């Protein structure tokens, strides 16, 4: 028997996005229940689409619906979403089926990931403690976004609730593992970021020419196993697409 997760006050809430979108938000901070609600609600939205909807997506705690306002009105979209929201307690929904666990060889710190020391210090740990903690944590793909096939991963322990930097790091490479606000992101592209670069992997999350161009789906889980820099370089050379990362099904 499980306890029904509580709905946060004032949520879910429906708001407009620009001229042609609507956003259903389940919480203003990331919680396990809000992320489950988000993944489950989008799946129902996708199965009951109304005419004029162009596409849908999820962020950590919100479902986005993009539509063509010349084909369907804001009030029709709002009414449809309100109707779906009343169907069940979305905060108690199950995670999607067919999820996978990825184990990803990762070099923590060194010149390849120069902000580990800074992040560990901000979290009140030594570098060794930080590596132990991060590599022992199995994180879930909470959502995909910002770059092609790129996951937001969580949730890390409380001490990793670090704000983003005020300035941007001009460039971190694809495969970079970066950290902020109790989450990790594994970058699929080379990009500027306000998150701290704590690890480096050789995992290509987006392989444009491949039959399956996107490696991860929301709900998959990852564990970042520590390897030495020489081992990392060797894996990257011998397995250029995955850097030694392997997947297995999560049995439910």
Comparison of 16 and 110: residue with beta carbon closer to another protein: 16
Comparison of 131 and 186: residue with beta carbon closer to another protein: 186
Phi, psi of 44 (to 5 degrees): -70, -40
66 binds another protein (CB under 8 A): yes
Judged by CB under 8 A, which of 208, 211, 248, 249 binds another protein?
A: 208
100 binds another protein (CB under 8 A): no
Structure tokens at 189: 């592209």
- Candidates 21-29, 101-109, 119-127, 239-247 — which segment interacts with another protein by CB under 8 A? 21-29
170 binds another protein (CB under 8 A): no
200: enclosing H helix or E strand: strand 196-200
163 binds another protein (CB under 8 A): yes
Comparison of 131 and 140: residue with beta carbon closer to another protein: 140
Tokens 């009951």 belong to which residue?
A: 48
Chain length of the chain: 252
Instruction: Using CB atoms within 10 Å of the CB of residue 199, give its burial: 0 to 12 exposed, 13 to 18 middle, 19+ buried.
Output: buried
Tell me the sheet residues that pair with 58.
63
Calpha distance 187→152 (Å, rounded): 9
* Nearest Cα residue to 204 out of 157, 234, 240: 240
39: enclosing H helix or E strand: helix 32-46
Judged by CB under 8 A, which of 5, 44, 57, 85 binds another protein?
A: 57
Residue 130 Cβ, how far from another protein at the closest point, in Å? 21
Instruction: Using CB atoms within 10 Å of the CB of residue 175, give its burial: 0 to 12 exposed, 13 to 18 middle, 19+ buried.
Output: buried
62 binds another protein (CB under 8 A): yes
- Candidates 92-100, 122-130, 159-167, 231-239 — which segment interacts with another protein by CB under 8 A? 159-167
Inter-CA distances, 112 with 168, 191, 197, 201, 206, Å: 18, 15, 9, 9, 21
Judged by CB under 8 A, which of 6, 54, 136, 210 binds another protein?
A: 54
- List binders of another protein among 112-141 (CB under 8 A): none
Judged by CB under 8 A, which of 117, 148, 223, 247 binds another protein?
A: 148
Which positions touch another protein (CB under 8 A)? 15-21, 23, 25, 28-30, 42, 54-62, 64, 66, 69-70, 74, 143-150, 152, 163-168, 180-181, 188-189, 191, 194, 206, 208, 213-214
């Amino acid at each position: 028997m499980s306890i029904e997760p509580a709905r946060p006050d004032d949520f879910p809430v429906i708001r407009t996005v620009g001229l042609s979108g609507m956003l259903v938000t389940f919480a203003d901070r990331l919680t396990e229940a809000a992320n489950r609600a988000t993944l489950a609600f989008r799946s129902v939205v996708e199965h009951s689409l109304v005419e004029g909807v162009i596409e849908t997506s999820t962020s950590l705690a919100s479902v986005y619906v993009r539509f063509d306002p010349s084909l369907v009105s804001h009030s029709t979209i709002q009414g449809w979403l309100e109707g779906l929201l009343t169907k069940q307690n979305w905060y108690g929904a199950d995670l999607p089926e067919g999820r996978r666990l990825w184990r990803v060889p990762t070099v923590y710190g060194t010149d390849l990931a120069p902000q580990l020391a800074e992040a560990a210090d901000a979290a009140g740990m030594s570098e060794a403690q930080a590596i132990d903690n991060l590599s022992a944590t199995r994180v879930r793909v909470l959502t995909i976004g910002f770059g092609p096939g790129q996951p937001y991963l969580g949730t890390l322990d409380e001490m990793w609730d670090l704000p983003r930097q005020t300035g941007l790091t001009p460039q971190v490479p694809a495969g970079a593992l970066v950290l902020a606000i109790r989450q990790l992101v594994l970058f699929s592209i080379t990009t500027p970021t306000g998150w701290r670069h704590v690890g480096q992997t050789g995992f290509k999350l987006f392989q444009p020419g491949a039959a399956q161009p996107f490696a991860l789906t929301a709900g998959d889980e990852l564990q970042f196993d520590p390897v030495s820099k020489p081992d990392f370089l060797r894996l990257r050379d011998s397995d250029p697409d995955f850097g030694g990362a392997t997947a297995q099904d999560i049995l439910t």
